[in-house]
Chain A
């Protein structure tokens, strides 16, 4: 019995038992459903073994949306607990678990896969490629991310959730102060999915450098591709730091080393340094592709080329460089002295300059344009003012003497939500509405879409603006309760109302998908928005080989040239196309990684060794395998194109 006790939840509650039952029932329903409708084969052939970057993109997208709801449920619980003073809804331990999971899920398992979804889906199309450079590795990246996410998500029903914050500061996260296995879950979930991210980083860089269509020089790449490129370069430099930090943390917890302990020579601030050397660039990994999406949308719906293309590219390169020079601003208060703080204060505020350049470029793109307010454009226009508020408060935080007062308070929480939500979440929703027709062949409903955008934007202000005030009034972040006399009640109540607004907004998005599946017209053609870049030159939905003929490019806006400037986009003849074969190995390897992580979480050494061997066997098999891929014949291409476009 002892053996099984460690799998029990240390702090069970009715809500957790209810979730357990719900998870169990859902799993059973899925299994029964798949069996009843005989969909196992379809699932395996078309999705689990796919190496098609578009399908992988869609799987990222679905996972991201699921995680958005998971993290959102946590957020509602937190805001409900804080809504009134002395609330008894959650106790301290549950609150700690909830905000830890919320932060981790939202950054690592919601925002990251969301941008990965768009990078995977759009980048190859935008550069006129048929796939990414390493399609199979791409599938592996996805499955590693997915298994990491699942590992974190089972923590609350098996063994207990992590509870030391998404920043997981040691020594708090060490065995002495966090004895439950929750932190092990954190370490392994991030490690496994981080590995996937690093692999994607390499894959995307090679794809962008090597697989662009003829004529597309670096300075003719569309802005989203540029932003993805820069973000992936940041990934390749930043993620190894996370890998090392997580490994050291794992050693401390499982093998009793003393890297981050309070005794025997451990250095407690070492974790904070490692974490933020990765963590600050991480926020730019998220925001730059989002900026890329805004650039595409704003130029499309202003009917204009993007203003200041070169300064857009330049500012991203500068941001990527500076993002590695500012990590210390996350602990100005660690006692590093006035000189160090001054240096990091200046580098931090310097990031505002290239960011400002981008904002002005978007504003000038509107100049003399012909602005159409579609849902994606509405999100983009709501993004500019809200993000500006978040950005300028970042500059305020960057003044290190003043940060002594903001640090660890709700003011900080307000800042980063006011940048991440308009910056990343709005961009993703804008991108979702914008690219939905390309992905699925029909549009989301515009009326519901615009209503949702307004609700979400107003909710953002309601939920986070009050935190600036409560922070300045002395409310620290991560307190599970407060007394009436503090006077924080009113701010937190408004914030709770905002959180409810978010819930309504997200529910409306789901309704919109359902509504549009039922009622949206399907004959929308390949280019419903009158867009400007190559991804819209393919039929919708996109055939698995993307482009029947290789496109030729003369500017940043290939499709625009073809539509309005008499440029011949596809001058070549049909030729047979080489495509990679599907493979089950990435999925299986992902499953083994899941078991590997799970074994380590509970220090089960025999399964840990076996799964490690399993991982190496998979890799060895792959290196011995001969898989030349296959060719799609000209006849097949012609038939497909005819079916999709109704011509040729």
Chain B
């Protein structure tokens, strides 16, 4: 019996050690937004472990102290009425914890919903990220280029993703740069991310959208500004023009590899943006994207 427990514990230690060398993606942030989230997560894990521990200790104490086999056969448990003191403590402490977490939560909400504080002096790079079954289209209106299934971004500059979908709801997620947000057909969502250091990051659609869901991924490469400029220049020189015809074939369901184009589909197929800042079901009249915010 004892042996089995030791083995089990040993097994778990090894497993945690093994993965310990390779930190979990979400807890290994590479951008300010992911950092906010990782900090919240670690903090809440700490507080929650404390609560779990208290419950375990009380439970263990009760079970050991009051089990029938330890008591005299004629012991009769008394009828107990509650005590106000105990109830106040039982409600009070959770209230304090929840209140504290609420403050943290609200603060973080505003942080992850706005451009990262750290880079507030930089002009954000706007990238339109749209999905069609089962691929990602990234349009760079500033550079007038478009990529499929991969992203190139400069480090140290806020990126403003504009998310929407040509079909089912999808969710744009780059765990190491920040949490996800939905891309939907009838509106454009904004997600603010930034990368602190160069690297390759995993990106994917996190919301189930049918058969090709598992492979609905993209690569993110964060590079220094100069390198980014080079990449843009190279694309402008070498890539084909994105025509409406070509884009329509891309929209058909299926998987495709990575590709790069000159021009964006935004010119002939504008995103579902409008002036009302919520759901708009008519085509956009204005293409001045910066002034538009989406809050529903």
Residues of A in contact with B (beta carbons under 8 Å apart): 92-93, 96, 163-165, 169, 171-172, 176-178, 262-263, 265-269, 272, 302-305, 307-311, 331, 333-342, 345-346, 349-350, 352-353, 356-357, 359-361, 363-364, 366-373, 381, 384-385, 388-389, 392-393, 395-396, 398-405, 407-409, 469, 472-474, 476-482, 487, 490, 494
Contacts and interface: CB of A to CB of B under 8 A. Distances in A.
B213 A92 contact: yes
Nearest to A172: B168
Given A263-B185, A381-B59, 9 more contacts: A304-B80, A311-B82, A333-B181, A335-B163, A335-B296, A336-B296, A371-B68, A385-B56, A401-B40
B156 interface: no
Contacts of B112: 338, 401, 404
B184 interface: yes
A353 B204 CA distance: 35
A172 B180 contact: no
Contacts of A389: 52
Contacts of B147: none
B90 interface: yes
Interface string B50-88: 011001101100110011100100011111101000110
Contact of B63 (A165, A381, A480): A381
Which of B59, B167, B169, B171 has its CB near the most chain A CB atoms (within 10 A)? B169
Which of A177, A331, A405 has its CB near the most chain B CB atoms (within 10 A)? A405
B55 A92 contact: no
Contacts of B66: 302, 366-371
Interface string B85-125: 01100110011001001101110111111100000000000
B132 to A, nearest CB: 11
Given A177-B168, A369-B66, A381-B63, A308 B25 contact: no
A370 B281 contact: no
Given A353-B94, A356-B94, A370-B75, A482 B214 contact: yes
Interface in B152-169: 163, 165-169
Interface residues of B, number: 93
A168 to B, nearest CB: 11
B212 interface: yes
B263 interface: no
A407 B19 contact: no
B235 interface: no
Interface in B1-58: 15, 18-19, 22, 24-27, 34, 36-38, 40-41, 44-45, 48, 51-52, 55-56, 58
Nearest to A358: B90
Contact of A349 (B34, B102, B109): B102
Nearest to A389: B52
A370 B62 contact: no
10 contacts: A171-B168, A171-B169, A172-B208, A177-B133, A307-B82, A371-B62, A401-B105, A405-B38, A408-B180, A476-B206
A303 B73 CA distance: 12
A561 B190 CA distance: 64
A349 B105 contact: yes
Contacts of A309: 82
A317 B184 CA distance: 37
B271 interface: no
A92 B37 CA distance: 32
Interface string B169-186: 101010100111110111
Nearest to B71: A370
Given A396-B48, A399-B105, A404 B59 contact: no
B294 interface: yes
B195 to A, nearest CB: 16
Nearest to A270: B279
Given A335-B182, A342-B109, A476-B204, A92 B41 contact: no
B47 to A, nearest CB: 8
A384 B60 CA distance: 11
Interface in B176-206: 178-182, 184-187, 189-190, 202, 204-206
Contacts of B40: 399, 401-402
A163 B133 CA distance: 16
B214 to A, nearest CB: 4
A305 B78 CA distance: 9
Contacts of A345: 102, 105-106, 109
